[in-house]
Amino acid sequence: MSGEIWSIAVDAPLGPLHYLVPDGFDRSVVGPGHSVLVPLGKRKVAGLMLRKEPNAPEGVKLKAALQPIPERPPLSATYLQWLEWVSRYYVYPLGQTADLIFPPLPKGGGRRKSKKGAVVKPSTGQTDHSVNLTETQQAIVETISPVGAQDKPEFQTHLLFGVTGSGKTEVYMELIARVTAAGKQALVLVPEIALTPQLIERFARRFGDDIAVIHSHLTPREKTDNWWAAVNGEKSVLIGARSALFCPLPRLGIIVIDEEHESSFKQDESLRYHARDSAVMLAKLNQIPIVLGSATPSMESWHNATSGRYRLHRLPQRAKATQLPSVEVIDMRATRDRDRQLGSREDGRPFWASQQLLTAISETLERKEQAALFLNRRGIAQSVVCPVCGHSPDCPNCAVALTLHGRSDLICHYCDYHESLREHCSKCHDGEPKPLGLGTELIERDLTRLFPEARLLRMDRDEIQTREDLEHAISAIENREIDILVGTQMIAKGLDFPGLTTVGMVMADVAFNLPDFRASERAFQLLTQVAGRAGRHLHDRAGRVLLQTYNPDHPSIRFTLAHDYEGFAAYELEFRKPLDYPPAGRVAAIKFMGPSHDETEHAAFTVAQMARKMVASLEGKETEVFVLGPAPAPLAKLRNQYRFQILLKSHGPGSPISSLCRTLSESLAHRISPKVKVGFDIDALHLL
């Protein structure tokens, strides 16, 4: 058979392979970026054509590509180059990386009816093109996207550092309006599905039905319809969660990353990419501006901005002359000591609530305003414990305690294992297990008793499971049908409720003591973001935030109290520098999962030995890499899989970590058990 030899990236955990593309193929569908169906063993898989090769590898008998895949449009040279960078940098097979770029279903004929909110509906007569930017906002817009015949926007990463409620979204929309007016498209990424309904509504008021949406709560057909609307150029603005980054917009003119600090921009399985960092590279290859927005930027972005790599823009005040909320720290140690002296609580106050918090809620309800209580834990209690022998029921599939929900349901939040709470301890058969800890479900139950006339809503993953649940909840809060909101981090990020004036952080300590060097950064970000929900529309006074804590001197608390992000950043960066923690250095994790403890541990030790030999061959302080471990992961067993990890830590920006991991990945064949899965997590964010 005659034809051309092509390097093709196949949808399998392999590198690119060589195939023969027969002469009979239509030449219009042959070229870099085109998709073809190819044989792989006994299967047929999708492949992405990369480049024509002069010769086949020696001794290899080539198979022929089967047929083009017409429902996959060809990728531009820029997107192909970007995919190759993502695959190489994050050490993941190119063919499987490329598979993420295409929609889940064939294009099909016509648009099927979508569920409410899936595809943005036309807003004829409601579109509002008025622009009322402050002088500071306008100056930022002009800097990022200047107007004039000679002023062509080019690649630059801009960090928009603005306090909560400072009007970052208005800046985004004005920049996007300029881009779309010039015939280009805009990509807007948000970290949480919970942010999309409000954001889409605001964008729809400005851009009408010129919006497409991609996120995980859409059906496969809805995702496919939105994908094609963007790829065909029918929609100029694409809004979505991190996966929307892979939609190949043909006229991309600007990228916006809202709440850029959020760790949910980092994919934690399979291709462990960071959407923010990958988007910066996509903007660079397209030579367009990218805007990262946050009230609490990541340490990496702040370091890049203050060192001159990114351009820094500040919005130091809330829009519309509203004040930042007042923050009160309630020392729960003093509350506990006082309660101990008084004996039993005659007022019926629950153990988790200070009198100041309950009084603040009561005063808020009297003013016909809304209050929100935040705790990043679901359920009634984190565990149940036998008071006689100390036994606590664990998940049989995961190395975690079961969480109590309702009155008798014990649930694992990782694998969804369920069992009923027994009347007597399953180990000693004597004691009666007692709840230990706190969750949003218990808070809701106690508030119902304390404020029987108040209308309560709980927002967590137990209550909010579908897009419709989320939209109904947000609508109820906006329409003042809810008096008290109780929620997890789902309510902490970016949401804007006009009636919400009082916010309580029930237990600020939850995020402090995790075994992760980023724990303080995440705690400060969470505290600041939660506080930022309060009083965003008050003009006569400030909103009120109450932080309950057993550790009032923690740096995250002190800097939150002063609304001092820059002070916290300086403190945190100084702590990390001598330890070579990012951004001073770089960290990667090699993660091992397997059904056998011994085989998984052996694989981890084998790879660690290989890594140390490779590191020993490196020269120069600027390329120094430390191999730490292996050790069991903090969550040592999940879903019946044993977990080990190795950490690679490097000094300085010239780190060879990615190339070292690529070399390791290519060397693993026949060195470890095929039952053990190995994943490379470059610039790791989650070390649990």
Q: Where are the domains of the chain?
A: 3-75, 135-321, 326-377+438-569, 585-682
Tell me, what's the pLDDT at 408?
81
| Burial class (CB within 10 angstroms; exposed 0-12, middle 13-18, buried 19+) of 150 | exposed
According to the model, what pLDDT value does residue 340 have? Answer: 46
Stretch 269-282: mean pLDDT: 95
pLDDT value of residue 90: 95
Q: Is the pLDDT of residue 119 over 60?
A: no
pLDDT 10s digits, 293-319: 999 999 999 999 999 999 999 998 877
CA 653 to chain centre: 24
How many Cα atoms sit within 13 Å of 135 on the Cβ side?
Answer: 0
Q: Name the helix (H) or strand (E) containing 283.
A: helix 275-286
* Predicted pLDDT at 448: 93
Strand partners, 547: 329, 505
Q: Which fold has domain 326-377+438-569?
A: Rossmann fold (3.40.50)
pLDDT band at 125 (very low <50, low <70, confident <90, very high): very low
Percent of the chain with pLDDT over 70: 91
CA 133 to chain centre: 29
pLDDT at 194: 60
Residue range 16-24: mean pLDDT, rounded = 91
At 345 the pLDDT is 53
Same topology for domains 135-321 and 326-377+438-569, yes or no?
yes
Token representation of residue 376: 């990043």
Poorest-pLDDT segment among 110-114, 308-312, 540-544, 660-664: 110-114
Q: How sure is the predictor about 18, in pLDDT bands with cuts at 50, 70 and 90?
A: very high
* Average pLDDT, integer, range 161-180: 91
Q: State residue 235's pLDDT score.
A: 96
Reduced to 3 states (helix: H, G, I; strand: E, B; else coil), residue 87 is helix
* Mean predicted lDDT score pLDDT of the chain: 86
Residues 585-682, CATH architecture: 2-Layer Sandwich (3.30)
3-state secondary structure of 148: coil
Rounded to an integer, what distance in angstroms lies between the CA atom of residue 75 and that of residue 9? 13
- Percent of the chain scored above 90 by pLDDT? 49
Q: Is the peptide bond before 220 cis (omega within 30 degrees of 0)?
A: no
pLDDT digits 0-9 by tens, 316-361: 887 766 778 888 999 988 776 555 444 445 567 888 899 999 999 9
User: What's at 133, amino acid-wise?
Assistant: L
Among residues 212, 242, 18, the alpha carbon closest in space to that of 120 is found at 212
From the candidate CATH numbers 3.40.50, 3.40.630, 3.10.450, 3.40.1440, the one assigned to the domain spanning 3-75: 3.40.1440
Evaluate if residue 12 carries a pLDDT over 70: yes
Lowest mean pLDDT among 110-114, 504-508, 597-601: 110-114
Is residue 410 pLDDT above 80, yes or no? yes
Segment 650-666 shows an average pLDDT of 84
By mean pLDDT, which of 378-382, 570-574, 600-604 is the weakest? 378-382
How confident is the model at residue 622, as a pLDDT?
55
What is the enclosing helix (H) or strand (E) of 522? helix 519-531
CA 125 to chain CA centroid, nearest Å: 35
Asked if 394 and 375 touch (Cβ cutoff 8 Å), the reply is no
Name which residue leads in pLDDT, 336 or 673. Answer: 673
Whether domain 135-321 has CATH 3.30.565.10: the reply is no
Whole-angstrom distance, CA of residue 234 vs CA of residue 93: 32
Strands 252-258 and 289-294: parallel
Whether pLDDT at 115 is above 60: no
Region label for 580, one of left (φ > 0), alpha (ψ between -120 and 50) or beta (otherwise): left
In 10 A of CB 68, how many CB atoms? 19
- Tell me which range, 253-262, 371-380, 394-403, 433-442, is most confidently predicted by mean pLDDT: 253-262
Name the residue type at position 226: N
Higher pLDDT, 32 or 192: 32
Q: What global pTM score does this model have?
A: 0.89
Cβ atoms of 243 and 278 within 8 Å: the answer is: no
pLDDT for 116: 41
* Residue 112, pLDDT above cutoff 50: no
